[in-house]
Amino acid sequence: MAIIVDNDTKLVVSGLTGSEGRFHGLRNRAYGTNLVAGVTPGKGGQDVEGVPVFNTVSDAVGEAGANTSMVFVPARFAPDAIYEAVDAGITTVICITEHIPAHEMLRVYTYVRTKGVTLIGPNCPGVLSPGKANVGIIPAEVFKPGSIGLVSRSGTLTYQIGNELAQRGLGNSTIVGIGGDPVVGSSFIDVLEKFEADEETTTVVLVGEIGGDEEEKAATWISDHMSKPVFSYIAGFSAPPGKTMGHAGAIISGSSGTAVAKKEALEAVGVKVGTTPTEVAELVIAAAG
């Protein structure tokens, strides 16, 4: 098993005919993901290296059997691309696009939730289930199959910790980059719940950062519902208060949203928190040994 994407994933890329959508869509296909279609209005009937392009997601679902959408279009079009995918019957939407206004994402989030669709992102690296499917921009070559679930707000830290684990002979069941915007489709809790139910996942690593209170909420949920061991890394211990650091959601105000507060909340419920990506990997190794 894996979560969100797997061998049954049939991917349609909104924006496959664009340079970035083409590059990453074909890279996902080269990894083994079943890329069945692309969507670009007005370009239906064309193809991208043998992948058929449709005018609508509905056509891609009806004619190619797509069940997962990757959104790789400019920010001004991305909300409509998500709505279109949901209305077409897509069950999983992974939005890579960044710079979508928060007020627009609030509407998207509310709509998607009413439909029971899994939305990852926006402004995220995507989802990788090693050996099964890669949907997004995650460099799959640094990961290996295994039983460690990894969920993160940061793309690059995800890659670093995954590589640290792989170098020590450990692999991942699924890697999920939820995105660093203030409003994202899936929270830490949403993903932790999936990992808790996944038979293949035995351990979880949560990578957080300054800003907001999602890590604190996750700590409470872990305490009440999580039976599997969870380890964590929080980025931003040296970040100055009131300053955005990288992600739009990575901003702290006073003592709220600091790395120290998040670390304390997680450790209070038994989650071991490493001070570096390397230390997180070593903590996982020690627990597994």
Q: Which two tokens stand for residue 230?
A: 């969870």
Q: Are strands 133-136 and 126-129 parallel, antiparallel or unpaired?
A: antiparallel
Q: Count H helices and E strands in the chain, helices first.
A: 9, 14
Residue (of 236, 227, 225, 223) closest to 265 by Cα position: 223
Q: Identity (one letter) of the amino acid at 13?
A: V
Catalytic residues: 247
Do residues 281 and 161 make contact, with C-beta atoms less than 8 angstroms apart? yes
195/174 Cα distance (integer angstroms): 9
Do residues 105 and 181 make contact, with C-beta atoms less than 8 angstroms apart? yes
Do residues 216 and 188 make contact, with C-beta atoms less than 8 angstroms apart? no
Do residues 38 and 49 make contact, with C-beta atoms less than 8 angstroms apart? no
Q: Which two tokens stand for residue 128?
A: 């990788």
Q: Which two tokens stand for residue 22?
A: 């083409």
User: SS3 for 68?
Assistant: strand
57/126 Cα distance (integer angstroms): 19
